[in-house]
């Protein structure tokens, strides 16, 4: 099992000075993550989502991190793939350049960036986002596979005459591909495309297990006709909100407060909710407050005449890896049993102070990750499950008759 961290560059007080500090703090956390044994750092891409995500140019952030690290993988998770955000040729070129400079450490994820705030800012047609994401993935999957070094594309949306696609990545035929999967439909698409899934799962372990079953069922049913590349990456990464401190109760309160801010921020941009509450009051029971916030959110949705769908309050569910290292180990064991191949640690939330982020990373590196590394060395069930999936994958690829190329450094 892999362990990673994901960065939104989320913040209260979105002033210019604080924004600069938060971005530098994220770099400090990412560098410490390598020292502490994490496998990957991921950075999102969003545009104009004040409070929620100030990571508008993750390719720059990740390049800066890559220059200050040597081993940890660099997760571009995700690139907003609709063409007016990022032309697919530019997305491919940037990924390849970063792969070269990091010596083959890049993971590349795709997403739609489909909030009205973002699509209106960049002139993206919301009705074309799914088509454009798929065509971008297919272009990247094909970009460096011509032995003559020329790339040509004639698809439903784009026509590209022969051109050299430069530079060539270290990982051939391209860095491993992933997709942000916020609902079951996109999870099934990721399986059909043959790419990894990055899932949220704020509602808890049961939701992660259900999403894993959906992903596996789609893998079992696919024919291979929609694969976007000659390689397949059936990798399932699950979000794990976490704060781990020496003071267990304090960690639970800081984690719940951070998640409440996260929830309010995401609901502001994705669900037309109110501006997030930036106040931090140490006398408030944040674990109780986040439960109250879920009830308030349901009431707001009803008043706004917006249907309350299943999972509408999932971001307010606070039973995650908050507390002691032992609490985190117990929660990750449940995520492992639910089918997670990778744990996406969400530590950097808007109200969480830098010292709590750094202490959390250290506890994971000193106690949580070694617990599972030891289990892997002893031959745990996750290893056998992965081997079984690899065997099934090999059978499906052999049946299809396609040549499989291994990722370099994956």
pLDDT digits (tens, 9 = 90+) for 155-192: 999 999 999 999 999 999 999 999 999 889 999 999 99
The answer on pLDDT for 389 being more than 80 is no
What's the pLDDT tens digit per position in 230-274? 999 999 999 999 999 999 999 999 999 999 999 999 889 987 778
- Percentage, residues of the chain above pLDDT 90: 76
Q: What is the pLDDT of residue 260?
A: 93
Residue-wise DSSP of 283-347: TS-HHHHHHHHHHHHHHHHHHTT----TTTTGGG---SEEESHHHHHHHHHHHHHHT-SEEEEE-
- CA triple 54-355-340, angle to 5 deg: 65
- The least confident of 68-82, 277-291, 311-325 is 311-325
Rounded to 10 degrees, what is the CA torsion of 361, 363, 367, 373? 0
Burial 50-59 (b: 16+ CB within 10 A, else e): ebbbbbbebb
The answer on pLDDT for 89 being more than 80 is yes
């Amino acid at each position: 099992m892999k362990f990673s961290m994901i960065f939104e560059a989320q913040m209260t007080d979105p002033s210019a000075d604080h924004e600069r500090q938060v971005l530098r703090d994220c770099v400090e956390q990412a560098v410490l993550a390598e020292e502490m044994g994490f496998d990957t750092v991921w950075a999102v891409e969003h545009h104009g989502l004040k409070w929620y995500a100030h990571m508008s140019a993750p390719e720059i952030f990740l390049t800066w991190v890559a220059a200050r690290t040597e081993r940890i993988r660099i997760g571009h998770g995700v690139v907003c793939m609709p063409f007016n955000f990022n032309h697919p040729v530019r997305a491919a070129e940037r990924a390849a350049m970063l792969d070269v400079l990091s010596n083959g450490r890049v993971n590349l994820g795709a997403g739609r960036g489909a909030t009205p705030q973002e699509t209106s800012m960049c002139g993206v047609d919301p009705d074309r986002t799914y088509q454009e994401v798929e065509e971008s993935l297919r272009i990247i999957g094909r970009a460096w596979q011509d032995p003559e070094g020329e790339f040509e594309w004639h698809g439903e949306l784009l026509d590209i005459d022969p051109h050299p696609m430069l530079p060539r990545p270290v990982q051939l035929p391209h860095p491993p591909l992933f997709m942000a999967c916020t609902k079951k439909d996109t999870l099934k698409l990721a399986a059909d495309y043959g790419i990894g899934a990055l899932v949220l799962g704020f509602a808890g372990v049961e939701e992660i297990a259900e999403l894993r079953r959906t992903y596996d069922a789609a893998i079992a049913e696919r024919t291979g006709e929609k694969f976007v590349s000659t390689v397949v990456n059936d990798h399932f990464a699950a979000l794990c909100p976490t704060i781990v401190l020496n003071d267990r109760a304090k960690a639970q309160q800081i984690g719940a407060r951070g998640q409440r801010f996260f929830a309010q921020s995401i609901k502001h941009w994705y669900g037309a909710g109110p501006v997030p509450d930036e106040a931090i009051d140490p006398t408030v029971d944040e674990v109780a407050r986040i439960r109250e916030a879920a009830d308030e959110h349901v009431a707001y949705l009803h008043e706004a005449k917006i249907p309350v769908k299943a999972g509408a309050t999932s971001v307010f569910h606070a039973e995650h890896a908050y507390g002691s290292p032992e609490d985190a180990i117990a929660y990750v064991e449940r995520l492992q049993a639910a089918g997670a191949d990778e744990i996406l640690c969400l530590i950097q939330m808007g109200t969480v102070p830098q010292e709590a982020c750094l202490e959390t990373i250290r506890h994971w590196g000193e106690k949580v990750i070694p617990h599972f590394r030891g289990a892997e060395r002893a031959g745990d069930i996750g290893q056998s499950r992965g081997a079984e999936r690899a065997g099934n994958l090999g059978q499906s690829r052999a049946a299809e008759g396609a040549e499989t190329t291994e990722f370099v450094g994956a």
